[in-house]
Amino acid sequence: MSRVIKFRVWDKILQEYFSWEDSVKYNNYHHLMEDGFDACVPEQFTGFKDINGMELYEGDILQDADTGFVVGVVTFNSEYGEYYCGDNSLYDCLDCQIIGDMHRNKELVEDN
């Protein structure tokens, strides 16, 4: 089984997401990132999907589909070499659903 490697990019100025392909084609973020420009945040696809079949990316906010509990933000833990959501391995969160992302919906995790 091969893993799909893809990214999305959060544009801090326009306040919206672009696929990596679109960002390279239209905005040339890859050059800006190489120069240390801080207007974009690349987020990698984890290789997993939520309970509704939506692709999970770094920065997504997940909620337990059964309890409604906000689990946390998807991040990569470089110490363990795997994705986490809150304090849980992402493997333990596959019954969750995406309810937002850390750029547009910070309020969902600020109180937790």
Domain segments of the chain as ranges: 7-110
User: How would residue 112 be classed by pLDDT, with cut points 50, 70 and 90?
Assistant: low
- Element of type H or E holding 21: helix 20-22
Tell me which of 31 and 94 has the higher pLDDT.
94
In 3D, which of 4, 95, 96, 97 has the Cα closest to residue 47? 4
Distance from C-alpha of 100 to C-alpha of 6, rounded to nearest angstrom? 19
User: For residue 77, how many other CB atoms are within 10 A of its CB?
Assistant: 11
Q: What is the mean pLDDT of residues 39-53?
A: 91
In 3D, which of 98, 112, 100 has the Cα closest to residue 49? 98
pLDDT of residue 11: 82
